[in-house]
């Protein structure tokens, strides 16, 4: 493994614009996906259990100072009802996501995780932000299988700029990822693509970090400006900002997904809701053909979900049963199969990039 070669390889692909050449990248990623994780597409029901948040992330609609949101926190019974629904819909995993909400106490989350594990065959993924080691350990003992926390960007200066107040350091998130592994969680992380001020060379470092962290799950999505946030008020990133500003484009998301697949061949890689929001008609299909092997249908009841507005226009379903049936149809329409069971990470090979591909 040669770090300089890997950096050059990643940089070449991230800056490639010729669709004909990019077709080679999509092909390589799709082949790697097929060989390493097969044809199954796993469904993970995404349940947004609370929109309370103590953080002030400059990009996120859930940030504490946003007074436009009606805040909610689901009860154990409401969560259990959705868990049973996810199981009935054919999801193998339930993802419990929320703002960083101290009202989601160690005890309350532990109790609901224990019940889900006792009363359903679902795997449980938690995505509840930066929590204490003792919380994470308690939830693991209660039966939680996976934890997902994005490091957002490996550029420490950019990270600091978009996470004002509170002791919010990217190194804290990296330490949490290490702690999660120690606790035996399957561990997931990811980034936003197209944050104003994000350079292409920092995307290269993000991708290499995915590999060195040996992630089990990698979730990457476009940065989408939210008008009620300080960063959102500055608008979308533009090529005029500076020469290697990363754009929050659909193509850039596919490039990062495809390169993630090459670097981490066995990882579970979802087609994120952010990508499906950019392209409602074909985002799922194209994401699945460019490295992805997971879809996370949102199963939050609409009266809660409409207040979980991390960015505007997020894909939401009015009627969840028919929406999931439609997703299954779309999976089959591209010759893939709908996975059953928890769809945990399989371990067969180590991630190395394929041989140099001439871009000349
Ligand atoms: N509180 C948990 C955490 O911080 O990990 C989970 C919830 S948080 C809303 C989930 C993810 O939403 C973040 O990791 C971030 O990448 C993404 N997000 C927030 N605001 C966004 C925006 N404006 N555009 C795109 N993604 C956004």
User: Could you tell me what percentage of the chain is helix, strand and coil, using 3-state DSSP and rounding each to the nearest 5?
Assistant: 40, 15, 45
Superfamily of domain 3-338: Aldolase class I (3.20.20.70)
The residues near 198 (Cβ < 8 Å, ≥ 6 apart) are 153, 155, 158, 223, 237, 245, 246
3-class secondary-structure state, position 120: coil
Model confidence at 287: pLDDT above 60: yes
How many angstroms separate the Cα of 267 from the Cα of each of 69, 122, 242, 320?
35, 19, 33, 27
Query: Where is 257: in which H helix or E strand?
Result: helix 250-263
Domain borders along the chain are 3-338
Q: pLDDT at position 315, please? A: 82
Which among 83, 89, 92, 85 has a CA at the least distance from the CA of 49? 83
Ligand 1 pocket test, candidate residues 150, 191, 232, 307, most atoms within 8 A of CB: 150
Q: Given pLDDT bands bounded at 50, 70 and 90, which one contains residue 317?
A: confident
Q: Given pLDDT bands bounded at 50, 70 and 90, which one contains residue 340?
A: very high
| Mean pLDDT, rounded, for 51-55 | 97
Whole-angstrom Cα distance, residue 279 to residue 273?
10
pTM of the model: 0.95
Whole-angstrom Cα distance, residue 52 to residue 98?
8
Q: How far is the CA of 349 from the centre of ligand 1 (A)?
A: 30
| Mean pLDDT, rounded, for 54-70 | 96
Model confidence at 162: pLDDT above 60: yes
Q: Which ligand 1 atom lies nearest to the CA of residue 231?
A: 23
Look at 106-115, 116-125, 138-147, 155-164 and tell me which has the smallest mean pLDDT. Answer: 155-164
Q: How far is the CA of 232 from the centre of ligand 1 (A)?
A: 13
Q: pLDDT at position 166, please? A: 64
Q: pLDDT at position 358, please? A: 37
Q: Ligand 1: residues within 6 Å at CB? A: 59-60, 62, 97, 99-100, 127, 129, 149-150, 152, 192, 221, 223-224, 226, 274, 310-311
Q: Given pLDDT bands bounded at 50, 70 and 90, which one contains residue 1?
A: low
Whole-angstrom Cα distance, residue 11 to residue 259?
10
Whole-angstrom Cα distance, residue 342 to residue 92?
4
Ligand 1, atom 20: nearest CA belongs to which residue? 60
Q: pLDDT at position 155, please? A: 96
- The DSSP secondary-structure symbol of 73 reads B
Q: Given pLDDT bands bounded at 50, 70 and 90, which one contains residue 357?
A: very low
Model confidence at 35: pLDDT above 70: yes
| Mean pLDDT, rounded, for 209-236 | 95
3-class secondary-structure state, position 186: strand
Q: Which ligand 1 atom lies nearest to the CA of residue 53?
A: 1
């Amino acid at each position: 493994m040669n770090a300089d070669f890997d950096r050059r390889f990643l940089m070449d692909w991230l800056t490639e614009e010729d669709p004909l050449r990019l077709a080679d990248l999509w092909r390589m990623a799709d082949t790697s996906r097929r060989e390493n994780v097969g044809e199954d597409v796993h469904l993970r029901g995404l349940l947004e259990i609370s929109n309370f948040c103590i953080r002030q992330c400059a990009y996120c609609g859930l940030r504490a100072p946003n007074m436009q949101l009606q805040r909610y926190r689901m009860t154990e019974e409401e969560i259990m009802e959705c868990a049973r629904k996810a199981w009935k819909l054919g999801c193998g995993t339930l993802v419990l996501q929320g703002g960083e909400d101290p009202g989601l106490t160690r005890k309350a989350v532990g109790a609901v995780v224990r019940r889900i594990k006792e009363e359903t065959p679902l795997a449980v993924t938690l995505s509840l932000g930066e929590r204490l080691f003792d919380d994470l350990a308690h939830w693991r003992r209660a039966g939680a299988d996976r934890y997902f926390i994005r490091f957002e960007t490996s550029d420490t200066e950019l990270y600091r700029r978009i996470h004002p107040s509170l002791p919010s350091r990217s190194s804290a998130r990296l330490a949490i990822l290490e702690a999660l592994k120690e606790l035996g969680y399957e561990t997931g992380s990811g980034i936003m693509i197209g944050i104003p001020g994000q350079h292409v060379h920092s995307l290269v470092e993000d991708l290499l970090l995915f590999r060195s962290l040996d992630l089990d799950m990698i979730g990457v999505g476009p940065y989408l400006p939210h008008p009620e946030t300080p960063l959102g008020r500055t608008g979308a990133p533009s090529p005029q900002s500076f020469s290697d500003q990363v754009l929050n484009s659909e193509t850039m998301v596919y490039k990062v997904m495809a390169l993630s697949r090459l670097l981490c061949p066995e990882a579970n890689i979802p087609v994120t809701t952010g990508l499906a929001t950019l392209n409602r008609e074909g985002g799922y299909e194209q994401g699945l053909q460019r490295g992805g092997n997971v879809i996370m249908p949102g199963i939050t009841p609409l009266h809660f979900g409409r207040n979980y507005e991390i960015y505007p226009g997020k894909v939401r379903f009015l009627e969840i049963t028919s929406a999931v049936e439609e997703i299954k149809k779309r999976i089959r329409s591209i010759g893939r199969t709908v996975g059953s069971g928890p769809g945990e990470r399989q371990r067969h090979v180590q991630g190395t990039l394929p041989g140099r591909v001439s871009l000349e």
